[in-house]
Homo-oligomer: A and B are copies of this chain.
Amino acid sequence: MTRDRPPLTRWLPILEWGRHYQAADFTGDLTAGLIVASLLIPQAMAYALLAGLPPQVGLYASIAPLFIYAIFGTGRALSVAPAALDSMLVAAGIGAIAAKDSPDYLSLAITLALLVGGLQIVMGLLRLGVLVNFISGSVITGFTSGAAVIIALGQLKHLLGLKIPSASVILPLLRDTIQALPQTQAITMALGGGAIALLWLGNQPFSRWLQKRGVRAIAQIPLVKSVPLLIVILSTVLVATLRLDQQGVAIVGSIPQGLPPLTFPTLSLDRIQTLLPLALTLSFIGFMESFAVAKSLASQRRQSVEANQELVAIGLANIGSAVTGGYSIAGGLSRSVVNFSAGAQTGVASMITAGVIVLTVLFLTPLFFYLPQASLAAIIFMAILKLIDLKTLRKLWQYNRADGLAFMVTFFGVLGLGVQAGIFIGAGFAIALYLWRTSRPHIAIVGRLGETEQFRNIQRHQVLTCTEVLAIRIDESLYFANTKVLEESLLQAVADYPKIEKLLLVCSGINAIDGSALATLEQLRLALKSFGVELYFSDVKGPVMDGLERIGFVEAVGRDRFFLSAAQAMQQFDCQLA
């Protein structure tokens, strides 16, 4: 479908949906925009704190990116702004280079957003969007679950009022938290616990209660989803009235009022070199999560998203964030789902959200002075818990050990070595497991199924075979990693059946044969010949046959050695099937 669109609307999807925009769309967009704004205001500040940045940086990152993505993005309901995993990566990565409260820290985060955006645009223009396919689903789930555990644990110190350094790997984090437990501040804990309780009640129980009163699902959303905003307001009022900040409750403090500052990120070769590995990881992960969310939402409405255009759109949004004093952004899962279910039809919803945030930074920031950090931590905590997905692990493990292992390696890699190392180790591990599997191909000795033309495994079916011909089906493409193993198993099979004169390779499972495998096949043919066994082929697929023809293998072996089907070969051999 993408191919038919004129070039301009391919680069500017807003022209596509803008042309068909209707009044009915606006109702949905307006509701969704307002609801997402109420969710995003506390979230943006919370994620900024998670990233080690001042809260207003999160708000700044929630304005320009939303406008930009609305213009360039193909995912209509995607809500692009600060996200949990990415904030965590920023904290771990930049925290390793600069001290958290140093002026350099913010400047590095802004440059990072610029680099991430640049890389994403380049990847999009080079059409590298398909690369995300190489991260297996189990690795993504393992990564998300592991990062969620780290983030959730990291919030404990805010929820309990502990003073410990932030950490991005499990062992120091657990050790520091446990050691500091005796210093728990009762009031902070009460605030944090209260917020968590409210958030929990506001979710399923409140929803069920509303349902019982006959409130329709669509009408529930504004009520249910404004619980975080309610908590922000309630807890701020509570802290301000009782002056709980004087009792040791950590508050957000003063947030500068006014529009996001126009920023020129500092770019030096030195800086780029330092930040590049982090920027690469972040550009990849940020895109991956955004694309997965956008795609899953779009498919529910039969719309389509285009990977490379998404890369460009998110890249531009990141650059937009950097030049307006924000940090790196991505399409968050939970926020986008809210946007979608609250009725967002187009990017107009995101523009409305951004408009509300503009009003917030212009007029409302003084109101956040007494906002306790524990409330923000509670919002992160409850949002992030949902990402710990052990149900998937159980299912994966049951179906396919390899997928389960990849999940666990990623999960424990993230916990033990950090988010960045974890995803690379996990992705590499999943690919290695796949290669490992293909390097040990399954082969089956086959025979004819009754009077049909079908040949199946002699160990699974009652089939007919003959003594002079051994028919073996190879269940894998032949390539360098499995060609030696295969040669050995075939020679072994021939040794096990000393009476055979012909070896028929049934190639229905062979989808490709590379150069190394071709050389091995030639050696195998000669070795078999010296034992008095002739090699035949059947069910060779078109593309494979083309290659064998081209290199002269078919000619060398003899064209009469190739049969269309095993049935045809057996008929030709005229052998007694029994």
Query: Which A residues are closer than 8 A to B by beta carbons?
Result: 130, 133-138, 299, 395-396, 398-400, 402-403, 430-431, 434-435, 437-439, 441-442, 444, 449, 452-454, 456-457, 460, 475-477, 479-485, 508-509, 511-512, 514-516, 518-519, 523, 527, 539, 541-543, 547, 550-551, 564-565, 567
Check if B399 sits within 8 Å of A481, measured CB to CB.
Answer: no
B516 and A480 contact, CB distance less than 8 A: no
Given A453-B567, A460-B542, A475-B541, 9 more pairs with CB closer than 8 A: A133-B439, A133-B485, A137-B516, A299-B523, A403-B515, A434-B480, A437-B512, A457-B542, A509-B511
A532 to chain B, nearest CB (A): 14
Task: Tell me which residues across on chain B come within 8 A of A430, comparing CB atoms.
Answer: 480
| A398 and B551 contact, CB distance less than 8 A | yes
Among B134, B400, B519, the residue within 8 A (CB) of A481 is B134
The answer to whether residues A396 and B542 also contact, given A134-B435, A564-B454 and a CB cut-off of 8 A, is no
Interfacial chain B residues near A515, Cβ < 8 Å? 136-138, 395-396, 399-400, 403
**Bound CA–CA A509/B518 (angstroms):** 19
What are 24 A-B interface contacts by the 8 Å CB criterion?
A130-B439, A133-B483, A133-B485, A134-B435, A136-B481, A136-B515, A138-B480, A299-B523, A299-B527, A399-B547, A403-B515, A434-B435, A442-B541, A449-B564, A452-B453, A453-B453, A453-B567, A454-B565, A475-B541, A476-B477, A476-B511, A508-B508, A508-B539, A509-B509
Q: Which residues of B contact A136 (CB under 8 A)?
A: 479-481, 514-516
Which residues of B lie under 8 Å from residue A543 when comparing CB positions? 442, 475
By a CB distance below 8 angstroms, the chain B residues around A454 are 453, 564-565, 567
A543 and B399 CA atoms in complex are apart in Å by 12
Please determine whether A511 and B441 come into contact, CB atoms closer than 8 angstroms.
yes
Q: How far is the CB of A409 from chain B (nearest CB, A)?
A: 14
Closest B residue, CB atoms, query A482? B133
Q: Give the complex CA separation of A541 and B444 in angstroms.
A: 10
Contacts A453-B453, A454-B565, A514-B403 given; does A480 touch B550 at CB 8 Å: no
**Minimum CB distance partner of A392 in chain B:** B515
* A551/B480 contact (C-beta < 8 A), A511-B442, A515-B137 known: no
CB distance from A137 to the nearest CB of B (A): 4
In contact, A475 and B511 (Cβ under 8 angstroms):
yes
Instruction: Tell me if A's interface is mostly helix, strand, loop or mixed.
Output: helix
Q: Which residues of B contact A299 (CB under 8 A)?
A: 523, 527
Q: Which residue of B lies closest to A438 (CB)?
A: B477
List the B residue with the shortest CB-CB distance to A431: B435
Q: How many copies does the complex hold?
A: 2
- Tell whether, in the assembled complex, residue B399 and residue A551 are in contact, meaning their CB atoms are under 8 Å apart: yes
List of B residues within 8 angstroms of A402 by Cβ: 514
Contact A134/B439 with A299-B527, A444-B542, A567-B453 known, Cβ cut-off 8 Å: yes
Inter-chain contact B134/A395, CB cutoff 8 Å: no
Using CB atoms, name the residue of chain B closest to A399. B551
Known A434-B479, A565-B452; contact A508-B509, beta-carbon cutoff 8 A: yes
Q: Within 8 Å CB of A485, what residues of B?
A: 130, 133
A464 to chain B, nearest CB (A): 15
- The 8 Å CB contact of A480, one of B133, B398, B456, B567, is B133
Say yes or no: A516-B550 contact (C-beta < 8 A), given A475-B541, A480-B133, A511-B441. Answer: no
A433's nearest neighbour on chain B, judged by CB, is B514
Closest chain-B Cβ to A463's Cβ sits at a distance in Å of 12
Complex formed: what's the CA distance from A332 to B509 in Å?
A: 38
A547 — which chain B residues lie within 8 A by C-beta? 399-400
In the assembly, what is the distance between CA of A136 and CA of B480, in Å? 5
Shortest distance between the CB of A246 and any CB in chain B (Å): 53
Which chain B residues border A439 with CB–CB below 8 Å?
Answer: 130, 133-134
Q: How far, in Å, is A390 (CB) from chain B's closest CB?
A: 15
Expressed in whole angstroms, the Cα–Cα distance for A475 and B567 within the complex equals 21
Per the bound structure, the CA–CA distance linking A431 and B481 in Å amounts to 9
Interchain nearest-CB distance for A529 vs B (Å): 14
Q: Which residues of B contact A476 (CB under 8 A)?
A: 477, 511
Least CB distance, A350 to chain B, in whole angstroms: 26
CA gap between A485 and B132 in the complex, in Å? 11
* A498 → chain B closest CB, angstroms: 14
A509 engages B400 (CB within 8 Å): no
Distance between A287 CB and nearest chain B CB, rounded to angstroms: 14
In the bound complex, do residue A138 and residue B511 qualify as a contact, i.e. CB atoms below 8 Å apart? no
Contacts of A399 in B (CB 8 A): 515, 518, 547, 550-551
A402–B512 alpha-carbon span in the complex (Å):
12
* Nearest Cβ on chain B to A305's Cβ, whole angstroms: 12
Q: How far is the CA of A509 from the CA of B506 in the complex (A)?
A: 11
